[in-house]
Amino acid sequence: MWKRVLVGLVLCAGMLFGHAEEKQDVKQENSSCPYECNKIFDSIFIKTDIEQAKRNIDAAKGPCKHFYAWFIYTYVDLDIKAGVESLWKSLYSTCSTKNLAYLVYASKMYRKHNIIGTEAEMVKYYRPVAEEVFNGFFKKKITLFTKWKLSRLHKQGENAKIIQFIKTLKSTGSATANENLLSLIKMGYIDAEQHIDFLKEHARTGSADAMGILGNMYYYGWGVKPSKITARHYFSEGAKKNDADCLNGLGMLYAEDGNVFESKLYLEKASAIGSQEADYNLYKLYENANKFVGEIHLMKAAKHDGYLPAVYTYAEKERLKGDIKRTTVSQYKSIASYHDQVVALEKNAIEMYRDHRNAEAFYMSLLIGDLCPKTGYENAQYILKHRVIKPGLIQRLYKYTSLWKDKKESDSEPAEVEIKIQDKNAKDIEEILNTQAGETQKENASKESKSTETKKNQ
């Protein structure tokens, strides 16, 4: 009995301390702008003081102020025409707000929301942002956990507890927990550099996954001092176990040494067991010697969700051919969504939601939805329906008179919530959200319907 009590206390303490470690201060967007547009950002998304934001916009001189004017016109004043005009002006911003303006403008064209444009015009605005992501890809590890938490925002607390639970069980020696933690690190849902001792311990006991992760960390310098010697050690040991990441890593090292034969040997082994990174490296190896073979490997690396550098390279080739299709636009768009500024805003939304700063989380989610990820709209819709937003915080937007849960609420289904809205603007905003977030649901339903028809025909 005492043993159970002790384990329970350890788990509770782990969850509490884990939660404290995860919490971060909300970061302001573009704090280095010479026109101080960060003050406008602060007024809208941190203080939710629209009147102050308007005063700041009137006082500001840079073109970046028009980006925030677009947001207020669109979602507070509901003046679509003025919003589009402001958004267009913000494309000439001289600070990093330009990236946000480019993404919103391109996404509006892509979704045909009040702006119409060709695929070439969409690429014109998506590509510069995607290029920054591509150029920084090998300098730092892209962590997918922020994207995962944002896509499941209303389950964010549950997700954090699951991961903290796994971490706590790991400390008790649970083999299953160790395997799960290792998988989460490998998939990018947990930051590897926070668990380097854990990875080294597992590498010593023969884990090829741990060897592959450590090899890449030392090769690229992700969270550690770069060391090709250390990287080669981990890659060599993991390659003996036929690990794809390690085979690919050895192939890269041999290519750098000028040993093309050994490089191809290891990269082709990695490619044969499904490594898209290896296919991309084979493309680079064959690019000047055998373009046909190189192109095949590039297509393999870029297909489906694809390896980010391969997806970007493939999109670039299509653009240079002048053959810009909807798929080309989608490739640039998907890469651009991983830009540092977008990820930072997503982290802010998660923090706000977790701290029950509902008005701030709502506004931030709307902005994220317009930037790229449709999950922003879905989260804004969820907050509007399932969270209490105090009257006065967003006076022009909506007011709640009551909010209650349906008696039929169950653990397996989300709570049904009825909201009585007095402000007309709230109904308009909800209609916009239903339209924007509903597009994803319609697409999924269409795919499921086609799949069902195919099965019936078979």
Six-digit token pair at 426?
């709230």
Q: Is the pLDDT of residue 352 over 60?
A: yes
Q: Is the pLDDT of residue 213 over 70?
A: yes
Handedness of CA 185, 357, 401, 433 (dihedral sign): negative
CB 280 within 8 A of CB 311: no
Three state DSSP letters for 396-416: CCCCEEEEEECCCCCCCCCCC
Answer whether 0.95 is exceeded by the pTM.
no
The segment with the largest mean pLDDT, out of 106-115, 285-294, 404-413, is 106-115
Count of Cβ atoms closer than 10 Å to residue 198 Cβ: 18
pLDDT on residue 306: 83
Q: Is the pLDDT of residue 214 over 70?
A: yes
Q: Is the pLDDT of residue 275 over 70?
A: yes
Q: How far apart are CA 380 and CA 389, in angstroms?
A: 12
What is the rounded average pLDDT for all residues in the chain?
78
Cα-based angle 159, 165, 170 (whole degrees, multiple of 5)? 135
Q: What is the pLDDT of residues 58-76, one digit of tens each?
A: 999 999 999 999 999 999 8
Q: Is the pLDDT of residue 358 over 60?
A: yes
Q: How far apart are CA 341 and CA 372, in angstroms?
A: 12
Q: Is the pLDDT of residue 237 over 80?
A: yes
Six-digit token pair at 253?
């090292």
Q: Is the pLDDT of residue 446 over 80?
A: no
Of the two residues 182 and 305, the one the predictor is more confident about is 182
Q: Of the candidates 130, 187, 139, which has an alpha carbon nearest to the alpha carbon of residue 311?
A: 130
Q: Is the pLDDT of residue 343 over 50?
A: yes
pLDDT on residue 31: 63
pLDDT on residue 415: 29
Of the two residues 430 and 345, the one the predictor is more confident about is 345
Q: Is the pLDDT of residue 269 over 90?
A: yes
Q: Is the pLDDT of residue 162 over 60?
A: no
Q: What is the pLDDT of residues 393-403, one digit of tens each?
A: 444 444 322 32
Q: How far apart are CA 444 and CA 447, in angstroms?
A: 5
Q: What is the pLDDT of residues 85-99, one digit of tens each?
A: 999 999 999 999 999
Domains in the chain, please, with CATH? 38-95 (no CATH), 145-336 (1.25.40.10), 362-457 (no CATH)
Q: Is the pLDDT of residue 131 over 70?
A: yes
User: What mean pLDDT do residues 354-365 have?
Assistant: 90
Lowest mean pLDDT among 205-209, 312-316, 372-376: 372-376
The segment with the largest mean pLDDT, out of 11-20, 268-277, 341-350, 417-426, is 268-277
Of the two residues 172 and 297, the one the predictor is more confident about is 297
pLDDT on residue 170: 57
Distance of CA 7 to the CA centre of its chain: 35
With cut-offs at 50, 70 and 90, classify the pLDDT of residue 437.
low
Six-digit token pair at 68?
């925030």
pLDDT on residue 436: 56
pLDDT on residue 434: 57
Three state DSSP letters for 322-336: CCCCHHHHHHHHHHH
Of the two residues 121 and 304, the one the predictor is more confident about is 121
Q: How far apart are CA 356 and CA 25, in angstroms?
A: 14
The segment with the largest mean pLDDT, out of 9-13, 221-225, 248-252, is 248-252
The segment with the largest mean pLDDT, out of 149-163, 256-270, 344-358, 415-429, is 256-270
Three state DSSP letters for the chain: CHHHHHHHHHHHHHHHHHHHHHCCCCCCCCCCCCCCCHHHHHHHHHCCCHHHHHHHHHHCCCCCHHHHHHHHHHHCCCCHHHHHHHHHHHCCCCCCHHHHHHHHHHHHHHHCCCCCCCHHHHHHHHHHHHHHHHHHHHHCCCCCHHHHHHHCHHHHHHHHHHHHHHHHHHHCCCHHHHHHHHHHHHHCCCCHHHHHHHHHHHHHCCCHHHHHHHHHHHHHCCCCCCCHHHHHHHHHHHHCCCCHHHHHHHHHHHHHHCCHHHHHHHHHHHHHCCCHHHHHHHHHHHCCCCHHHHHHHHHHHHCCCCCHHHHHHHHHHHHHHCCCCHHHHHHHHHHHCCCHHHHHHHHHHHHHHHCCCHHHHHHHHHHHHHHCCCHHHHHHHHHHHHCCCCCCCCCCCCCEEEEEECCCCCCCCCCCEEEEECCHHHHHHHHHHHHHHHHHHHHHHHHHHHHHHHHHHC
With cut-offs at 50, 70 and 90, classify the pLDDT of residue 140.
confident
With cut-offs at 50, 70 and 90, classify the pLDDT of residue 137.
confident
pLDDT on residue 73: 95
Residues forming beta bridges with residue 400, ordered by sequence position: 421
